Amino acid sequence: MGGTNPALLKALGYGNCVLALNTPFNAEVIGDYGLLFDGVDDLRHKLQQVDDDCGIVEQYRAKAPAKDS
């Protein structure tokens, strides 16, 4: 996991719903355990999406700690 931000790993490990900038390192770490965004407009859309549907947040929070890498 070279180049990975330790805060990203901690956020997943603590069971947070993670939104991260879509970079190769972040995409490798997050996989389908969080949400990736491409730029400000996409971030705005993803934030609105999780704000509108708390089920999305709970889904990612529940599976984030199960990430084994």
Residues 6-51 pLDDT 10s: 889 898 888 899 999 999 989 988 989 999 999 999 999 999 999 9
- pTM exceeds 0.85: no
Long-range contacts of 41-48 (CB under 8 A, 24+ apart): 43/19, 46/19, 47/19
48 in any annotated domain: yes
CB distance 66 to 30 below 8 Å: no
Domain count, the chain: 1
Q: If pLDDT is split at 50, 70 and 90, which confidence band does 2 have?
A: low
Question: Is residue 58 situated within a structural domain?
Answer: yes
Percent helix, strand and coil across the chain, each rounded to 5?
A: 60, 10, 30
User: Would 21 be classed as within a structural domain?
Assistant: yes
Q: How confident is the model at residue 3 (pLDDT cuts 50, 70, 90)?
A: low
* Residue 1 maps to a domain: no
Range of the domain at 59: 6-66
